[in-house]
Amino acid sequence: MRRSMPSLVSSFSASRTKTIAPALTASVLSLIALAWSVQPAQAGYSIQYITDPLNTAFTQALGINNSSTIVGYGNQTVFNGFQLVLPSTFTRENFLGATGGTQVTGIDAGGDTVGFYVNPDATTHGFFKPVSGSFQTVDQPTSVFNQLLGINQNGNEIAGYSSFTDVTGVTGQKAFSLVGTTYTDVNGLLPSNVNSQATGVNNAGNVVGFYMPTTTTSIGFLDKSGTITPIDPFGSTFTQALGINDDGEIVGFETDANGVQHGYVDLNGVFSTFDPPNSASTTINGVNDLGQIVGFFTSNATDTVIGFVATPVPEPASLLLLASGLFGLGAIRRRRTAG
């Protein structure tokens, strides 16, 4: 039986202990803070749990923009879309009349969102919602099933998939990207597969997603100007790439040899796993240009699905190096002044 979490958003530090020399001036401290925000080290993260107050047993955080606004959904009984302004301001976002529910999957810099909804007739449709406008249905022509899964920060390109043969969307999945009203068949660039999805796109037009060579295997991919690079960390037989930022940082999940699902971060081909403490399985679904990642995990303790946002924190060595360099600059300035 699932039990509810005690609060909407709780936080803890997943980073190492950091020490800063006590004699830093206010100006030096501000420079260090600036360096943190511009070039955060990837050794650790400060993690905040996210629990939808209307759906306390099941919350998934799916997208994040560069203002750290998060989108996702809860699923106590039906998909219930939301936007979240940290730490705990939830705004519902649900397509009117969609009795099967709404998932909000992506948000751009201006606050426009994408996702999908399920109608009373059980058909699934993509949507685009301008920040101050109404929902707009977005379905690929002649398709019978659509999901929009990501939007770049400029708001001019969308990633998703359609099925032209299966109204349930279980089979016949075909990855696409969308600019204006022009669909690009990403699936046509991929190796032979039974299903494929495009899940994220950045401002350079680089698309990530995954394809399934068989019904039991999955491989992530990066589509860069039509050139496909497989993403398969640690030799996993089941990998999905789910988000990409403008620095080319890619996130997703992989399943290890023991069948355990881990989140991963891909920095220029260097992979690292990420799992919140006490998680049974982890998915990282989105990343912004600050390196903040969002996703969800299943708790070992409560069997609930909990969203999270994780913010990179700098390594102690990086701080000490930065501090010593700033002190050196200060000493040079003092000697010059004295001279």
Q: What's the pLDDT tens digit per position in 100-110?
A: 999 999 999 99
Amino acid at 13: S
Amino acid at 168: T
Average pLDDT over residues 85-98: 97
Residue 331 has pLDDT above 60, yes or no: no
pLDDT, mean over the chain: 85
> What is the number of alpha carbons within 13 Å of residue 270 lying toward its C-beta?
4
pLDDT band at 316 (very low <50, low <70, confident <90, very high): low
Tokens of 295: 């996703």
Q: Are 73 and 104 in contact (CB under 8 A)?
A: yes
pLDDT band at 76 (very low <50, low <70, confident <90, very high): confident
In Å, what is the CA distance from 156 to each residue of 107, 110, 112, 238? 12, 11, 10, 30
**Rg over CA atoms, the chain:** 21
Percent of the chain clearing pLDDT 90 (strictly above): 78
Q: Whole-angstrom Cα distance, residue 335 to residue 339?
A: 6
- Where are the domains positioned within the chain? 45-338
Residue 204 has pLDDT above 50, yes or no: yes
Amino acid at 151: I
**pLDDT score recorded for residue 34:** 29
Secondary element (H or E) of residue 26: helix 26-38
- Give the 3-state DSSP-derived string for 235-291, with helices as H, strands as E and coil as C: HCCEEEEEEECCCCCEEEEEECCCCCEEEEEEECCEEEEECCCCEEEEEEEEECCCC
Q: Are 272 and 313 in contact (CB under 8 A)?
A: no
**pLDDT score recorded for residue 22:** 31
Superfamily classification of domain 45-338: TolB, C-terminal domain (2.120.10.30)
**Collapsed DSSP state (helix, strand, coil) of residue 175:** strand
* Predicted structure pTM score: 0.82
Q: Which residue, chain included where needed, has tokens 């030096």? A: 28
Average pLDDT over residues 53-59: 97
